[in-house]
Amino acid sequence: MIYREAGDFKTSYRDDSQTFPIRLDRWGYYAILAVAFGIIPFVINDYWANAVLVPFLIYAIAALGLNILTGYAGQVSLGTGGFMAVGAYAVYKLMTAFPDISILIHILLAGGVTAVVGVLFGLPSLRIKGFYLAVATLAAQFFLIWLFNKVPWFYNYSASGQITAPERTVLGHAVTGPATSAPAKYLVCLVMAFLLAWLARNLTRGMLGRKWMAIRDMDIAAEIIGVDPLRAKLSAFAVSSFFIGIAGALLFAVYLGAAEAGEAFGINKSFLVLFMIIIGGLGSIFGSFAGAAFMVLMPVLLKNLLVGTLGWPTDLAAHIELMIVGGLIVAFLIVEPHGLARLWRLTKEKLRLWPFPH
Amino acid sequence: MDQLIFGAEVFLNGLMTGVMYSLVALGFVLIFKASGVFNYAQGVLALFAALTLVGIQQGQVPFAHLINAAFGTSLHHFGWTVPSILAIALTVLVMVVLAFLIEKLVLQHLVGQEPIILFMATIGLAYFLEGLGDVMWGADIKTLDVGLPQGISDGIESITAGWFGYGFFIDRLDIWATVIAALLVAALVAFSQYTKQGRAMRAVADDHQAALSVGISLRFIWVMVWSIAGFVALVAGIMWGTKSGVQFSLSLIALKALPVLMLGGFTSIPGAIVGGLIIGVGEKMFEFIVGPMVGGATETWFAYVLALIFLVFRPQGLFGERIIERV
Amino acid sequence: MKTKLTALVVAGIMAGAPAMADLVVPNLSYRTGPYGANGTQYADGFNDYFTLLNERDGGIGGEMIKVPECETAYNTEKGVECYEATKDSGALVYNPLSTGITYQLIPKVSVDKKVLYTPGYGRTSAKNGEVFEWIFNAPANYWDGASVAIKHLLDENGGSLEGKKIALVYHNSAYGKEPIRTLQELAEKHGFTLSEIPVEAPGQEQGSQWLQIRRDRPDYVIMYGWGVMNQVAIQEAANIRFPMENLIGIWWAGSEIDVEPAGAGADGYKSVTFNGVGQDYPLYDDLQQYVIDPGKASQGGQHVGSAVYSRGMYAAVVIAEAIRTAQEMSGTSDITPEQLREGFENLDITQERLVEIGLPDFGPPIQLSCSNHGGSGMARIQQWDADEGKWNLITEFTEPDQEVVQPLIEEDSQAYATEAGITPRDC
């Protein structure tokens, strides 16, 4: 009834090719932004920030990154945890070496460092494809973690190899370290997530994104029509790793505050982020956010429901939670292999015709 | 000279470890060959099989914890123990039922999906089975004993001591694992070469459509292959479980099998064996020679890096089918 | 529909915060994941002691104690979530049994003003109360443990380890790397050579490490392991016929589940411990009467009396004593975390007090102060008897070599203070 294109006239190409061509979508988008920037920072408390929103935003960034590589460029990677570790250790080294420079710049630089490492480990993708590549990226995962665990320089020679984020401020407010307030944490992650999502959206619908998709759909055919696979694949690895590096830097510096390579950035992280993009939808910006929300919220929700509301023993609840999450993943893949993004699209299609479907 | 003798010992032990890796990798290959599914749940299958075996052997009440929590009872054991052979047979039965259920509830609905979707489904399956195993049998560490010997082999030690003046260490369990792996491979080869079902399995592996058109039931073959993979998982679970007790970490042996697969090729049974041996020897020798220089613990990544470098030169693995791409 | 769903989601998330209770001591446990088998026993012991106090004495000082449990799966992010979910419910003290989560919480508890009690794990230099105001790690820490193990070896060798070879097999993580510095210092002092052998987590496959030990023939092996690493290491040690009495684990490598899979091969294996083992203590009669028989034991009481269970119970004993001290000092029974901190700093658990509790000689005497948050660091050695299936205590409580340990603690805590911008308090 209200969700209509009718009457929403476009008079320029610019209007026609905008991200949200339907007026209601646009309004919804602005409304979400207004709530996210204007209301949530004033009502957020520690629990909501630390248990729900901050991890959601950080994982959304990581999922965006992996989605660029896997969803848009078709290169399956299981090295996400390792690349996040690169971002985390890079930001740690930078913030302890140059304490006077803004942490925001350090976070971006950490993304840059990760991009370089990503390109390095992306080189084999020119020869290796499919599952072989997926397993090959595990080499990055295990090697990087081992390296960070082994070389004392990375953790500033501390006795136990743990890295701890010192306090750094932005505009006079602490954003890392223990004194950080919930709104500050949330806002830093929100700004990053917003800017990166905007960047991802515009990259993927520009020439670069189209090259990636051409490579994804068939690399030999893409090569024949003039897409350079070397540059397309490596640029995908670089951009993806940049995102993932920033996510790792935020995860360590803003969210956790202290980390240990093997524990915080293990192979489980790689799988978790991969799950997010599969459940959310490969090749979709919205899907990255939806998948991250699903995988972050689901366990918290189940735990609170089973332990908090039903009063089950925690171990039983944890085991059943595993079964439910596993079962849901399978069920999801069966019902909608293209993820939440596809479901959302179908809902919108239906809405356009509602209440008079033909 | 000493280093050479030590090196030889490390080499032999690497071969033995390689066999243990191959045992896990075999299950992957079987399923990938027949259904194109990269079954990440293979490690969890091994854990689940081992848990079930111990549970049956010791007469545990399945789902005891859940029942106790729901009804306030305090069940633990039935109070009997089952002989190993019978317990193994019963576990095989459970794995067959599991294979049937997996086919019925999961695979059947995912026919024709992209490989990555199938792969993710098996990860979901892995989570589910992990939770199920814990709910069924409890999460504590269980001792698995089916009568396999463990510890240093005195015969080999005294013989090598006579030759080199230094007795080699070979674990008797590893020797048994080698024998069992050899039997297993022989049985698998015989099965696929000389039985009707085995031929049907190979036909399905070659071409699903063609197999269907000559009247082979794809569903039956899949149930069968998953059952066999479940059996292989049981063997791997027994071997690894005897070593470390049956517990959560057992499922992580899947990660040890992945580089073996890359090296050997996803579709080749000999590849899984040879790949396992190369990885086993490679990582042990690397740890022996280079490890001390870089501070050790290189085994987690060396196998992957080795496989990666190898793949750059031969992208389909050692024995994998040649990838032919057409536009 | 959508709003309903949102409402449900919000309600589900909000349900995480438990209702206000009198004295809240959250139990951040892990009963699943790679270390679940160990975590379960610890959590049971921790729960049961507080249940006993509630059932028998009506709590502490008339206040009931509530122990909400939260599953962390040994995962730092879940640990943070558990901490955030419980901290506003009036929680007094946290004991997460994970070095990773401890590092996570150290800066947080100082800001939120909660006590963090990490007996025998966590950050060793937290012993320095001048820097770590809110963290306590009595009765002993990793470095104490390493020193006590070496002292035991000194005793066995008539006071000299000159020319001996000792290998450290360790979990390649923050936890496992802790003792390296101490052992290096001790090696210099006593003239033994130390070789470090890391095992990458989880430690399912340790063939190379134990082959190396077989080749190098060290006189003793000290092990800092956790989870599956322990079982495999002990099995491999038995396989290469390494003399079990020369293999000494830290307390986290000294539980029944670590040795039982190796069967008779594990006989004679030693480990350091700071708590008593077995059920030969009067307290267990009360526990049987008030907790186990009425069916109130955590998880049905299947692990009562095991080494890790006892350690969980011991942690609860120390916390309960600190609460009691705080109540006496502040004159109120409903204490705040600040008052509990004071209680910890004035904690004095004597042997007489342990007898009163019903646990004579169960732990070393603990006397804490503003500057000393780690106690005396005393620990003892236990040995596994495979035939009987139980641990035997073979030494008395031994002081660690504070000459070596204390300067290291000073150094590390100062480094932390500089890094985190903390001005040490005056004590």
Q: Which two tokens stand for residue B94?
A: 């459970």
Strands (E), chain A: 163-164, 169-170, 173-174, 258-259
Determine contact, residues B92/B231, Cβ cutoff 8 Å: yes
Determine contact, residues B172/B151, Cβ cutoff 8 Å: yes
The DSSP secondary-structure symbol of C247 reads E
The DSSP secondary-structure symbol of A257 reads S
**Cross-chain residue pair B325–A138, CB shorter than 8 Å:** no
Query: Which residue of C168, C208, C216 to mutate against B (max B Cβ within 10 Å)?
Result: C208
C396-407 per-position pLDDT tens digit: 999 998 888 899
C268-325 per-position pLDDT tens digit: 999 999 998 888 899 999 999 999 888 888 887 888 888 999 999 999 999 999 999 9
**Cross-chain residue pair B312–A128, CB shorter than 8 Å:** yes
Q: Does this complex have an ipTM over 0.90?
A: no
Helix, strand and coil in chain C, % to nearest 5? 50, 15, 35
Q: A331 in a domain, yes or no?
A: no
Q: Average pLDDT, stretch C126-138? A: 90
Q: What is the CATH number of domain B2-313?
A: 1.10.3470
What is the pLDDT at residue B266? 82
Judged against a pLDDT cut of 90, whether residue A167 lies above it is answered with: no
User: Using 50, 70 and 90 to split pLDDT, how confident is the model at A267?
Assistant: confident
**Cross-chain residue pair B248–C32, CB shorter than 8 Å:** yes
Judged against a pLDDT cut of 50, whether residue C1 lies above it is answered with: no
Annotate A40-84 with DSSP letters as a single string: HHHH--HHIIIIIIHHHHHHHHHHHHHIIIIIIT------HHHHH
A323 neighbourhood in chain B, CB within 8 Å? 127-128, 131-132, 135
Judged on CB neighbours under 10 Å (0-12, 13-18, 19+), B312 is middle
Judged against a pLDDT cut of 90, whether residue A63 lies above it is answered with: yes
Q: Which of A89-93, A137-141, B94-98, B294-298 has the lowest mean pLDDT?
A: B294-298
What is the pLDDT at residue C20? 45
Mean residue pLDDT of chain C comes to 87
Mean residue pLDDT of chain A comes to 88
**Cross-chain residue pair A256–C77, CB shorter than 8 Å:** yes
Q: Average pLDDT, stretch B140-160? A: 83
User: Using 50, 70 and 90 to split pLDDT, how confident is the model at C7?
Assistant: low
- Maximum average pLDDT range among A22-31, B61-70, B77-86, C376-385: C376-385
What is the pLDDT at residue C10? 53
Shortest CA distance to C120 belongs to which of C427, C369, C424, C366?
Answer: C366
What is the pLDDT at residue C19? 42
What is the pLDDT at residue B149? 84
Judged against a pLDDT cut of 90, whether residue C147 lies above it is answered with: yes
B79-94 per-position pLDDT tens digit: 888 888 999 999 999 9
> How far is the C-alpha of C122 from the C-alpha of C141, rounded, in Å?
8
Number of CB atoms found within 10 A of residue B63's CB = 16
**Cross-chain residue pair B151–C215, CB shorter than 8 Å:** no
Determine contact, residues A84/A240, Cβ cutoff 8 Å: no
User: Using 50, 70 and 90 to split pLDDT, how confident is the model at C18?
Assistant: very low
A275 neighbourhood in chain B, CB within 8 Å? 120, 123
Shortest CA distance to C307 belongs to which of C340, C258, C353?
Answer: C258
Q: Average pLDDT, stretch B100-116? A: 86
Judged against a pLDDT cut of 50, whether residue A35 lies above it is answered with: yes
Q: How far is CA C169 from CA A270, C42, C122, C152, C234, in A?
A: 29, 24, 19, 18, 11
C189-211 per-position pLDDT tens digit: 999 999 999 998 788 888 889 98
Alpha-carbon distance B159 to nearest alpha carbon in chain A (angstroms):
39
Q: Spell out the residues 6+ positions from residue B284 whose beta carbon is closer than 8 angstroms to its own.
A: B10, B11, B13, B14, B17, B299, C207, C208, C211
**Which residue of B74, B249, B296 is in closest CB contact with C300?**
B74
B181-211 per-position pLDDT tens digit: 899 989 988 988 899 988 898 888 777 788 8
Residue of B nearest to A142 (CA): B301
What is the pLDDT at residue B30? 87
Q: Does B38 touch chain A (CB under 8 A)?
A: yes
Q: A316 in a domain, yes or no?
A: no
A130 neighbourhood in chain B, CB within 8 Å? 115
A255 neighbourhood in chain C, CB within 8 Å? 80
Is the torsion defined by CA of C297, C298, C301, C304 positive or negative?
Answer: negative
Q: Which two tokens stand for residue B220?
A: 């039956």
Judged against a pLDDT cut of 90, whether residue A246 lies above it is answered with: yes
Q: At what angle do helices B253-264 and B2-35 cross, to 10 degrees?
A: 80
The DSSP secondary-structure symbol of C282 reads T
C347 or A178, which is more confident: C347
Q: A79 in a domain, yes or no?
A: yes
Query: Which residue of C228, C267, C299, C302 to mutate against B (max B Cβ within 10 Å)?
Result: C228
Judged against a pLDDT cut of 80, whether residue B112 lies above it is answered with: no
User: Using 50, 70 and 90 to split pLDDT, how confident is the model at A322?
Assistant: confident
Domain boundaries, chain B: 2-313
Q: State CA B43 to chain mean position distance.
A: 6
Mean residue pLDDT of chain B comes to 86
Judged against a pLDDT cut of 70, whether residue C215 lies above it is answered with: yes
Q: Does C180 touch chain B (CB under 8 A)?
A: no
Which domains, ranges and CATH numbers included, belong to chain C? 18-140+278-376 (3.40.50.2300), 142-273 (3.40.50.2300)
What is the pLDDT at residue A170? 85
Structural domain count of chain A: 1
Annotate B235-278 with DSSP letters as a single string: HHHHHHHHHH-BSGGGGGHHHHHHHHHHHH-TT-HHHHHHHHHH
**Cross-chain residue pair C80–A308, CB shorter than 8 Å:** no
Question: Under DSSP, is residue B171 helix (H, G, I), strand (E, B) or coil?
Answer: strand
Alpha-carbon distance B255 to nearest alpha carbon in chain A (angstroms):
9
C221-243 per-position pLDDT tens digit: 999 998 889 999 999 999 888 99
Q: A3 in a domain, yes or no?
A: no
Judged on CB neighbours under 10 Å (0-12, 13-18, 19+), C364 is buried
Q: Average pLDDT, stretch C64-85? A: 88
Domain range holding A84? 25-265
